[in-house]
Amino acid sequence: MVTYIESLQLSGVKPEFHAVDDHYLRMTDRNKGIVTSVEQQTISRVVIAQAGVGGNSDVTITLAQMGFQHFRIADPDVFEVSNFNRQLGASMSTLFRNKADAIAQEILEINPDADVRAYINGITWDNVEEFVDGADIIIDGLDVSVMHLRERMFDLARERGIPVFTCPVIGWGTGIAVFDPEKSPSFREFFGEIPEDPDSEEWQRFIERYIVNFLSARPTGIDIQLGKRRAKQGTAPSIAAACRLNAALVSTAVYGFLFDKGSIPVVPTTLHIDLLGTRMSVTGPKKRFLVKRALGVLSKED
């Protein structure tokens, strides 16, 4: 069986590895014993495209520290004081700076030879195809307010054979859904049809079902009703510990997918970690139906 990364190499998508400078070798030296030298060489040329680098800035920085050095990062927002509770890129030195631009600089502080393109206007209908083309891995950190655009990004990735990792922070934990372009259902097949009116009750029910797709049980330590009200206002609860966990999970999943290692599942099975509740669970279609029924968010399609 050919792994995903082997298929990239065999197809000639990537050039042969050339020796990198001493900084990269010293930076990644402590990876040895966990990451092989051949894997590290491959990592050094994989192209990561990440849409949304606010709460998911931890993911980008962690991947850069692992030795990934080709990035496309997109976010139209600026860092605000309200981000200081959880987002690694948020500090007094980046206050009111565009998030993509600030995280690009953070990557270059880690690896001055990194190749980083910042989309400071975020992902748009005009640039989403350009953003996806040529990427090897796509990481979805988009807001729920741009759900139609998210679906377009997923569909483009699927057409081009690119895996998508989508990874919401949920309370004291996190969930991950890895969309394998060959084995997984499409965005619409998995999440359902997106309502047109974002102000409608139908839209709100869709968002609730969307989040529940990542869960294996009711999350520990969350005021659900307050969370729903705040989510409608665009200020959903989120905490630093879960963002750190999210970065660890996503970067591990990317490594495992690239080299066909470990046992992190692909959609239609998802993984949910509830750290405060000391639970780590995989959820397939049957269990997902039971979770949705227990939480009262079943749709007609379910």
pLDDT of residue 1: 56
Identify which of 11-25, 196-210, 253-267 has the greatest average pLDDT.
253-267
C-beta separation of 156 from 42 below 8 A: no
Per-residue pLDDT tens over the stretch 107-156: 999 999 999 999 999 999 999 999 999 999 999 999 999 999 999 999 99
Mean pLDDT value across the chain: 92
Using pLDDT thresholds of 50, 70 and 90, give the confidence band for residue 17: very low
C-beta separation of 31 from 25 below 8 A: no
Model-level pTM?
0.93
pLDDT(279) > 90: yes
Residue 183 in tokens: 């084995």
**Mean pLDDT of all residues in 26-45:** 96
Give the chain's domains with CATH numbers: 4-295 (3.40.50.720)
Q: Which residues contact 159 (CB under 8 A, 6 or more apart)?
A: none
pLDDT(33) > 70: yes
Q: In 3D, which of 56, 267, 254, 299 has the Cα closest to residue 136? A: 254
Using pLDDT thresholds of 50, 70 and 90, give the confidence band for residue 231: confident
SS3 label, residue 247: helix
Per-residue pLDDT tens over the stretch 61-84: 999 999 999 999 999 999 999 999
Using pLDDT thresholds of 50, 70 and 90, give the confidence band for residue 19: very low
pLDDT(18) > 60: no
pLDDT(16) > 50: no
SS3 label, residue 168: coil
pLDDT of residue 302: 79
pLDDT of residue 9: 61
Per-residue pLDDT tens over the stretch 90-103: 999 999 999 999 99
